[in-house]
Structure 1
Amino acid sequence: MNRKGCPDEYPISLHLNGCEIAVFQLTKYDLKDWVYGYLFSEGFIQEANDIKAVNIDENMGAIHVTLHSHFDEDQFFSKKKHYTAGCGRGVTFFSMTDVKGFAEVSSGQKYDLSYLLKKRSEFAGKSSLYLETGGMHGACIVEENGAITIREDIGRHNAVDKIIGYALRKGLPPEQLILLTTGRVSYEMLSKAAKFGFPVIGSRTAATKQAVQLAKFLNIEVIGYLRGKMAVIYTSSGRVKNDITQEIDFERTVEGGINKQEKTS
């Protein structure tokens, strides 16, 4: 496949009620979705209507957001910053202790593993920026009717923020959605998904030990290595049924980490 261009990234500063929060490396697509998703994921807003206005100035590399309510910058910046791992470096203000205070995710939705693999393949085939450059991350939501929506960015956590922002702005019910991502599921990625309320997260690569432990604690199903007819189901909340005749790796979490691997046909 001939690539036509390189992935792009730009330093963009985020300002909230006139206060600069941080500077982020972002790909300049779907920035409004990113604003809503990031501010929700980090606890700046609780719903889309908390935002009064968003002004994106690409020439100056700045996004200015006005909230309906007062923003106490002194109180917020007393929190310790945590820098996210991987490309498109970002900032999160949530610690593992904070995330463990999130509500347990509740959903009666159940899925066949073959369905997740099919949607992961559809996601890959429609990731236009990745197909163009070969160097982008993507995040995708699958709705109850099977419709998918994709957002892409140089950073995997940015892509997840963008798709959360899209779902938040559209008022989509999280308990009926699947989140798929191209990136590693780390604790900060899991915390974003948990904050919104996704019951099932699937990735084409691995999940970290801390993310898996947190997923078990918050009752979230995490499936890694979704490729072809491969999969690793890290948790066992019962939302994903293995209907593949080929052997699939199942890993179950325990208090101390990952339990021994079992083979299930």
Structure 2
Amino acid sequence: MTQAVDGVDHEGQPVTLNVVTERPLTIYLNSQEIVTAMTIGDYPDYLALGFLLNQGMLHQDDDVTGVDYDEELDVVVVRTARATDYEDKLKKKTRTSGCAVGTVFGDMMEGLQGVTLSSSTVRTSWLYTLAQAINTAPSLYLEAGAIHGTVLCREDRPLVYMEDVGRHNAVDKIAGWMFREGAPAADKILYTTGRLTSEMVIKTAQMGIPVLASRSGFTAWGVEIARNVGLTLIGRMRGKRFVCLSGAERLVWDADPLAVPEEDGRHRRKSAGV
């Protein structure tokens, strides 16, 4: 998922960098072409399933009869027992902010109707342990940068780590994994390296995950939606610091920030280049 590229550095000296590759992936639902996404190319089945779930085109109770991936054509086809037709919805398209610009269909807020999230508490010790574990884990991000990661966690344990050129792709892969594995959402935390935008909040709430955390910052609409749906929203999570702008009443302050080490300088420098 990387390739070596030659160049020169700030002193004019030869340098070789591993850079992330990206490729188009066209997603079909039955016989209908839905979208072409730019992706690093791993886990196309999870990405397709998760994207369709988060767009409301695939339902949690759908009988998925097949997920077929053609590597040569860069096409993945999700097949369901239920007949589908989303021609009208495809006419409503919104390009979202962020890296490797994402796309959502229809009225974004529709998917939040009737959503009820768990009001489970979050221990601050979990946040510190997760940040340390995730930020130091071997990853494509640490190797090449220019990529976002999303991690599904339970309490202080990372469970699944997905990466992609866009944070929306990475979270869709998590959604696809959860669908395939039948993983419950009510006891999970979703961690992302990207900004906490309205799109990320909506996707997390639609997945039924009650906590969304990030090392990056917030958008005002993302915070507003999180407060409306009762999602715990934690950002700027670096070293001993974090900020909670929604759901602070669910935090259990069981860790002393003074006992938490500052974030490693190497990771901070890497982050600045994302």
Same fold by TM-score, threshold 0.5 exceeded?
yes
Q: Within 5 A, what are the aligned runs for 1:224-263?
A: 224-236=235-247, 238-246=249-257
Residue aligning to 2:34:
21
Residue aligning to 1:59:
72
The size of the alignment, in residue pairs, is: 244
The answer to whether 1:89 aligns with 2:130 is no
- 1:10 maps to which of 23, 31, 54: 23
Percent of aligned pairs with the same amino acid: 32
Residue aligning to 1:139:
150
Using the size of structure 1 for normalisation, the TM-score is: 0.85
> Considering only aligned residues, what root-mean-square deviation do their CA atoms show, in Å?
2.1
SS at match of 1:174: coil
Q: Within 5 A, what are the aligned runs for 1:112-127?
A: 112-127=123-138
CA offset digits 1:93-114 (Å, max 9, x no partner): 143442452413124x322213
Query: Residue 147 of structure 1: CA displacement?
Result: 4.4
Cα distance in 2 for partners of 1:3, 1:50 equals 48
Judging changes above 3 Å, is the alpha-carbon distance between structure 1 residues 41 and 223 closer, same or farther for their aligned structure 2 residues?
same
Query: Residue 144 of structure 1: CA displacement?
Result: 4.8
Using the size of structure 2 for normalisation, the TM-score is: 0.82
Residue aligning to 2:267:
none
Q: Within 5 A, what are the aligned runs for 1:29-68?
A: 29-47=42-60, 49-68=62-81
Query: Residue 50 of structure 1: CA displacement?
Result: 2.9
Residue aligning to 2:121:
110
Assess if the C-alpha contact under 8 Å between 1:104 and 1:217 holds in 2: no
Unaligned runs of 5+ in 1: 248-265
Cα distance in 2 for partners of 1:3, 1:110 equals 47
Unaligned runs of 5+ in 2: 1-14, 259-274
Assess if the C-alpha contact under 8 Å between 1:33 and 1:165 holds in 2: yes
SS at match of 1:185: coil
SS at match of 1:164: helix
Cα distance in 1 for partners of 2:87, 2:80 equals 16
Query: Residue 62 of structure 1: CA displacement?
Result: 1.3
Query: Partner letter of residue 90 of structure 1?
Result: G
Query: Which has the greater radius of gyration?
Result: 2
Query: Residue 127 of structure 1: CA displacement?
Result: 4.7
Query: Partner letter of residue 8 of structure 1?
Result: T
CA offset digits 1:196-240 (Å, max 9, x no partner): 111111001012110110001000000001110010101135222
Cα distance in 2 for partners of 1:185, 1:102 equals 22
